[in-house]
């Protein structure tokens, strides 16, 4: 049995003789300075700040096989982390079509997830998630070119509304699903309104419909969180991309028909009016969380929302509702580990973030109710895709093997190979040691080593963060359930790590 290790020693051994050295970027080649031609602006391109434009163009124009070395060379010469993240997000929104809100557009959606992973990493690993996201951008950029070469066009300045009219123009355009009007209105809004005011608008529109399996809410949350890092002065192209994404639909104008994807939002816009005025003064109730879990398993989206209103009006704390929402999201992953199941968790993370960030009571209530509506819809989506297991998150049994105590390494040896065993061992480890941090650190490094998809970063950043948002009596079960989609130690190393090792040898 492996000896228990502290965080730093594990990080060093998990790197398997190569990854730990990536942080110093010693293998990176030298690069020529940015030329004058590189700084010239194409009039057909969306403008970003003059300081960032050369770096954005570097990301756009450098071949994928050379980009990491090019960026790394500039980092060694003083290029800041914030500028790299800013250029990455801006290059993404400028070069990748946000419709559908997913697929290749994950190169944009994942920027915040990579940033969160970097923040939670020791210095020697901090650049690796961002380098992974840079490489992922180039892959999505190439796919975007194959699909027609969409690029964001400059805004029509002649139609941008004044500061006094921008907000209402934006609301009218979004309510009417008018893409062209929304584009010029959001440009005016970005130039005249404060970040908090703009967020309140996008929080509501990001949760209003169940298209793109939660990606609209995810884009709202992730773009806002990244803008907190890179600065509001970079917001306009991001908000234009976001508005365009939120208006994605098929068929006739949704404002003029009754599409199933829009029904929860319309129903809950009225239901929020029935929530008591002192709804935030309730008391935690674990029994209520259990009852809501059972409701979510067996009732329609409308019935689930009505049940949430009922328990809140009885004086139960909203936290107990969120416990049930996050636990059921984890249970849906257990029922069908895959693309739908993992998005129950990433969308819940996004809606929870918007709930915590919003200062508007009605918006906060709506976000909670929309989450309650979306989870049964996710379950229906799972059933449409194939077999759904009978797994229940409250029936995970902790496993305590005889002999040597469990370690995170032993738990993650089974992740991806025997999911119920890994979940049981994870719960056993957490109950025996109370050391969630050690398990979380292990999970994060394995994503660096083994992650091959944007969802690996999106998912892990969401659930490892939300562990601390679940009440203490439930959070260990939540983390155990999510081993169903974390990366295991027996999985193959990703190509980026292999590339880094090759560069170190060369």
**H, E, C per residue of 319-388:** HHHHHHHHHHHHHHHHHCCCHHHHHHHHHHHHHHHHHHHCCCHHHHHHHHHHHHHHHHHHHHHHHHHCCC
Residue (of 387, 408, 414, 416) closest to 484 by Cα position: 416
Match 């796919």 to its residue by tokens: 143
Strands (E), 231-276: none
Question: Which of the residue ranges 40-44, 346-350, 403-407 has the most confident prediction, judged by mean pLDDT?
Answer: 346-350
| Residues making up the chain, counted from first to last | 506
- The encoded tokens of residue 24 equal 């110093």
> From CA 46, how far away is CA 211, in angstroms rounded?
27
Rg (CA), the chain: 23
Query: Do residues 325 and 311 make contact, with C-beta atoms less than 8 angstroms apart?
Result: no
Q: Tell whether the model's pLDDT for residue 407 goes beyond 80.
A: yes
83-129: pLDDT as tens digits: 999 999 999 999 999 999 999 999 999 999 999 999 988 777 788 89
Query: Which residues are CB-contacts of 505 (< 8 A; sequence separation ≥ 6)?
Result: none
Give the mean pLDDT of 401-408. 86
pLDDT of residue 486: 97
CB contact burial 362-395 (16+ within 10 A = b; e otherwise): ebbbbbbbbbbbbbbbbbebbeeeeebeebbbee
pLDDT of residue 74: 87
Query: Do residues 217 and 350 make contact, with C-beta atoms less than 8 angstroms apart?
Result: yes
pLDDT of residue 489: 96
- The encoded tokens of residue 341 equal 């199941």
pLDDT of residue 126: 82
pLDDT of residue 467: 98
pLDDT of residue 6: 43
pLDDT of residue 27: 36
Peptide bond before residue 20 is cis, with ω within 30 degrees of 0: no
Match 């906060």 to its residue by tokens: 364
Domain boundaries, the chain: 157-255, 260-385, 396-495
Q: Tell whether the model's pLDDT for residue 447 goes beyond 90.
A: yes
Question: How much is the mean pLDDT over the chain?
Answer: 90
> From CA 361, how far away is CA 292, in angstroms rounded?
22
Q: Tell whether the model's pLDDT for residue 23 goes beyond 60.
A: no
Give the mean pLDDT of 170-176. 98
> From CA 250, how far away is CA 405, in angstroms rounded?
54
pLDDT of residue 20: 37
Residue (of 309, 330, 319) closest to 285 by Cα position: 319
User: Does residue 125 or residue 64 have the better pLDDT?
Assistant: 64
Residue (of 395, 425, 421) closest to 330 by Cα position: 395
356 pLDDT band, cuts 50/70/90, is: very high
pLDDT of residue 122: 77
49 pLDDT band, cuts 50/70/90, is: confident
Give the mean pLDDT of 66-81. 89
Residue (of 227, 217, 391, 210) closest to 302 by Cα position: 210
252-299: pLDDT as tens digits: 999 999 999 999 999 999 999 999 999 999 999 999 999 999 999 999
> From CA 217, how far away is CA 221, in angstroms rounded?
6
Report the run of H or E that residue 149 belongs to, with start and end: none
Q: Tell whether the model's pLDDT for residue 31 goes beyond 70.
A: no
336 pLDDT band, cuts 50/70/90, is: very high
Match 């941008």 to its residue by tokens: 160
Q: Tell whether the model's pLDDT for residue 422 goes beyond 50.
A: yes
34-43: pLDDT as tens digits: 333 433 435 5
CA angle at residue 263 from 261 to 267, to 5 degrees?
A: 150
Dihedral sign of CA atoms 291, 292, 296, 299 in order: positive
Helix and strand tally (H, E) in the chain? 25, 0
> From CA 402, how far away is CA 379, in angstroms rounded?
37
pLDDT of residue 434: 94
Give the mean pLDDT of 2-16. 39
Give the mean pLDDT of 473-484. 98
Query: Which residues are CB-contacts of 121 (< 8 A; sequence separation ≥ 6)?
Result: 128, 129, 444, 448
24 pLDDT band, cuts 50/70/90, is: very low
Residue (of 255, 162, 262) closest to 210 by Cα position: 262
Share above pLDDT 70 across residues of the chain, in percent, rounded to a whole number? 89
Share above pLDDT 90 across residues of the chain, in percent, rounded to a whole number? 81
> From CA 490, how far away is CA 417, in angstroms rounded?
8
Give me the DSSP letters along 272-305. GGGS-TTGGG-B--HHHHHHHHHHHHHS-HHHHH
pLDDT of residue 41: 39
Query: Do residues 165 and 138 make contact, with C-beta atoms less than 8 angstroms apart?
Result: no
- The encoded tokens of residue 470 equal 């679940």
pLDDT of residue 121: 81
pLDDT of residue 265: 98
pLDDT of residue 69: 86
> From CA 90, how far away is CA 339, in angstroms rounded?
27
How far, rounded to the nearest angstrom, does the alpha carbon of residue 465 sit from its chain's CA centroid?
11
Q: Can you name the residues that pair with 316 across neighbouring β-strands?
A: 283
45 pLDDT band, cuts 50/70/90, is: low
User: Does residue 77 or residue 45 have the better pLDDT?
Assistant: 77
Query: Do residues 467 and 440 make contact, with C-beta atoms less than 8 angstroms apart?
Result: yes
365 pLDDT band, cuts 50/70/90, is: very high
Give the mean pLDDT of 294-310. 98
Q: Can you name the residues that pair with 283 across neighbouring β-strands?
A: 316
pLDDT of residue 263: 98
Give the mean pLDDT of 429-435. 95
As to burial, measured by CB atoms within 10 angstroms (0-12 exposed, 13-18 middle, 19+ buried), residue 3 is exposed
């Amino acid at each position: 049995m492996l000896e228990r290790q502290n965080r730093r020693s594990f990080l060093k051994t998990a790197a398997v003789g190569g990854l730990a050295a990536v942080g110093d970027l010693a293998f990176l080649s030298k690069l020529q300075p940015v030329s004058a031609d590189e700084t010239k602006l194409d009039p057909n391109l969306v403008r970003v700040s003059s300081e960032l434009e050369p770096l954005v163009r570097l990301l756009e124009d450098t071949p994928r096989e050379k980009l990491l070395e090019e960026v790394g060379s500039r980092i060694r010469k003083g290029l800041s982390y914030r500028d790299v993240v800013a250029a990455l997000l801006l290059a993404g929104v400028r070069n990748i079509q946000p419709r559908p809100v997913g697929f290749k557009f994950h190169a944009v959606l994942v920027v915040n997830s990579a940033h969160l992973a970097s923040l939670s990493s020791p210095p020697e690993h901090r650049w690796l998630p961002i380098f992974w996201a840079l490489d992922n951008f180039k892959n999505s950029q190439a796919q975007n070119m194959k699909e027609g070469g969409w690029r964001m066009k400059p805004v029509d300045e002649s139609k941008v509304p004044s500061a006094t009219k921008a907000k209402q123009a934006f609301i009218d355009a979004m309510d009417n699903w008018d893409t062209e009007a929304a584009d010029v209105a959001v440009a005016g809004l970005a130039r005249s309104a404060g970040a908090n005011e703009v967020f309140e608008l996008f929080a509501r529109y990001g949760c209003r419909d169940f298209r793109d399996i939660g990606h609209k809410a995810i884009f709202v949350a992730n773009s806002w969180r990244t803008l907190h890092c890179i600065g509001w002065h970079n917001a306009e192209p991001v908000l234009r991309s976001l508005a365009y994404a939120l208006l994605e639909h098929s068929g006739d104008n949704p404002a003029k028909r009754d599409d199933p994807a829009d029904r929860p939002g319309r129903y809950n816009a009225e239901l929020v009016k029935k929530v008591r005025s002192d709804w935030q003064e309730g008391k935690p109730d674990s029994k209520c969380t259990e009852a809501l879990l059972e409701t979510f398993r067996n009732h329609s989206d409308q019935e689930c929302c009505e049940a949430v209103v009922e328990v809140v009006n009885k004086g139960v704390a909203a936290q107990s509702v969120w416990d049930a929402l996050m636990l059921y999201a984890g249970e849906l992953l257990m029922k069908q580990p895959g693309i739908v199941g993992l998005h129950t968790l990433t969308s819940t993370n996004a809606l929870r973030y918007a709930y915590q960030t919003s200062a508007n009571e009605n918006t906060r209530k709506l976000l909670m109710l929309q989450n309650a509506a979306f989870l049964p819809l996710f379950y229906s989506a799972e059933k449409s895709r194939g077999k759904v297991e009978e797994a229940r998150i409250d029936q995970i049994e902790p496993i305590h093997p005889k002999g040597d105590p469990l370690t995170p390494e032993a738990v993650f040896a089974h992740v991806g190979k025997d999911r119920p065993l890994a979940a049981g061992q994870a719960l056993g480890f957490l109950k025996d040691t109370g050391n969630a941090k050690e398990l979380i650190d292990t999970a994060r490094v394995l994503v660096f080593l083994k992650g091959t998809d944007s969802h690996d970063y999106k998912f892990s950043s969401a659930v490892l963060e939300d562990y601390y948002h679940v009440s203490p009596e439930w959070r260990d079960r939540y983390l155990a359930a999510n081993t169903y989609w974390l990366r295991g130690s027996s999985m193959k190393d990703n190509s980026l790590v292999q590339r880094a090792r090759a560069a170190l040898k060369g």
